[in-house]
Amino acid sequence: MAIGDAAYIKKINRSQIVQTIFKEEMISRADLSDITKLTKATISAQVASLLEDGLIVESQQEHNFVGRKPIMLSINDKAGFALGIDLDYGHISFALSDLKGQLVSTDTIETDTKNYSSVIQLLTDYIKKYELQSSESRYGLVGIVIAIHGLVNKDETIHFIPRLNWYDVDLKKDLQKSICVPIYIENNANVCSFAERVFVHHETDNLVSVTLYSGIGVGIMMNNTLFHGQNGFAGEAGHMIIVPNGIACSCGNKGCWEKYASESSIFQKLSQKMNKDNLTYKHIQKWIDEGDSNVQQLMEETIYYLSIGLNNLINIYNPEIVVLDSELLRMYPQSLLKIRENLTSSVSHYRDMVISTLGKKSSVLGACALAIKQFFDVPILNLSYSEEMSLK
């Protein structure tokens, strides 16, 4: 056997062991061997290496049986930290998590600039603050993932961010001029779908996540891997045409899905109908509670058009789980039931459709999880998210 082959096998074994420890949360060496089908000698050697590296820890578990207490292995969540950033027009959200994905610090800052250099400086200042906050851990800040509300090439350069009007910029390269931590750039919808799989839907390998806030973004997990398409632009389903010659869209087409089913389109239409500027979710919730006919009519229309697009996605990707991320759907009574009732095709197949429980945190959570995945070099993670432990 070539030396390179032996090193590759060791790398694969290590990845399998780490992934299993993440999944089980706490596990003995014997059970680790049973689950992975690796020999006890291999488990012993790999565990010793992971302990030496400070990536896992040992603990004794209480039990009521006769004999020695089993020594359990778990991920050392305090060995380092991951930083997730959601970069959007008007605000930037930061979240620092430990190596088990639990949030330990968050910030959201309001911005009033689209200037690329200004945003670079702002990001750099905040990243350095989080580097300092993480510096006492063994590995410090292990990785940074920035979620972009736009088109990201496969080489992680940014092709286009509509709301910032950025074309063909290399944010990763420009940040790395002053930041030494590994940086990854990913599309926001992809990061959200990764969060749904990693934190909530552990039982599925195939998932479609649809975010409905400023536009419509679709993240696709196929066989536990993000589906990017030829250039990295897969998932731009918000710009599929569902109404020929319909409402003009900034993309250049008419009748795009997001012009009929995104929250931004609902806010715009309601603002006109109700003759009210600066609408908030509280305003809409109040009108829903009061049974306002204008709001009800618009929400029913939105659900109808949303269902058309979902029918298309389900037929194209045949996902096991469809996750819808929308605050308005969470507010509107029986919205999920009404969507399901519209999906009447006998050829559309999916196991379940749910409204996201992560909500707007999914972007930064997914970004943190993706940084953890890259650090440990594992195919997929199973993490737990506790709202009580997160900082707001």
Over residues 76-105, the pLDDT tens digits come to: 999 999 999 999 999 999 999 999 999 999
Question: pLDDT-based confidence at 392, cuts 50/70/90?
Answer: very low
Query: What's the CA gap between 80 and 31, in Å, rounded?
Result: 26
- What is the widest separation between alpha-carbon atoms in the chain? 75
Confidence of residue 1 (pLDDT cuts 50, 70, 90): very low
317-346: pLDDT as tens digits: 999 999 999 999 999 999 999 999 999 988
Is pLDDT above 50 for 12? yes
| pLDDT above 60 (res 3) | no
Residue with tokens 């060496």: 29
The tokens 């049974």 sit on which residue?
Answer: 291
Do residues 243 and 345 both lie within one domain? yes
Among residues 12, 41, 75, the one where a domain terminates is 75
How many domains does the structure of the chain reveal?
3
**Torsion angle of the four alpha carbons 69, 74, 79, 82, in this order, in degrees rounded to the nearest 10:** -160
Domain that holds residue 258: 205-350
Tens-place pLDDT, residues 271-323: 999 999 999 999 999 999 999 999 999 999 999 999 999 999 999 999 999 99
Q: What is the pLDDT of residues 137-178, one digit of tens each?
A: 999 999 999 999 999 999 999 999 988 999 999 999 999 999
Helix (H, G, I), strand (E, B) or coil at 28: strand
The answer to whether residues 229 and 259 belong to one domain is yes
Whether residues 319 and 211 share a domain: the answer is: yes
Q: Mean pLDDT throughout 52-60?
A: 95
* pLDDT over 70 percentage in the chain: 96
Nearest to 305 by CA among 344, 253, 255, 354: 255
Evaluate whether residue 148 is within a structural domain: yes
Same domain, 234 and 318: yes
| 87 and 22, same domain (yes or no) | no
Q: Are residues 71 and 87 in the same domain?
A: no
Quick one: average pLDDT of 257-282? Answer: 94
Do 229 and 127 have their domain in common? Answer: no
Give yes or no for residue 389 having a pLDDT over 60: no
Query: Which of 20, 52, 75 is the endpoint of a domain?
Result: 75
- The CA distance from 226 to 63, in Å, is 41
Question: Do residues 67 and 9 share a domain?
Answer: yes
In a domain, 356, yes or no: no
Q: Calculate mean pLDDT across residues 64-71.
A: 69
Residue 25 resides in a domain? yes
**What's the pLDDT at 247?**
96
What's the rounded Cα separation, in Å, for the pair 369 and 244? 39
Within a domain: 200? no
Same domain, 336 and 375: no
pTM of the model: 0.94
- pLDDT for residue 60: 82
Question: Sheet harboring 103-110: ordered strands across?
Answer: 103-110, 91-98, 81-88, 141-148, 183-187
Note whether 66 and 87 are same-domain residues: no
98 in the same domain as 61: no
Contacts of 294 (CB under 8 A, 6+ apart): 270, 273, 274, 287
* pLDDT, position 388: 60
Mean pLDDT of 356-379: 97
Task: Place 66 in a pLDDT band, splitting at 50, 70 and 90.
Answer: low
Residues 185 and 238 in one domain: no
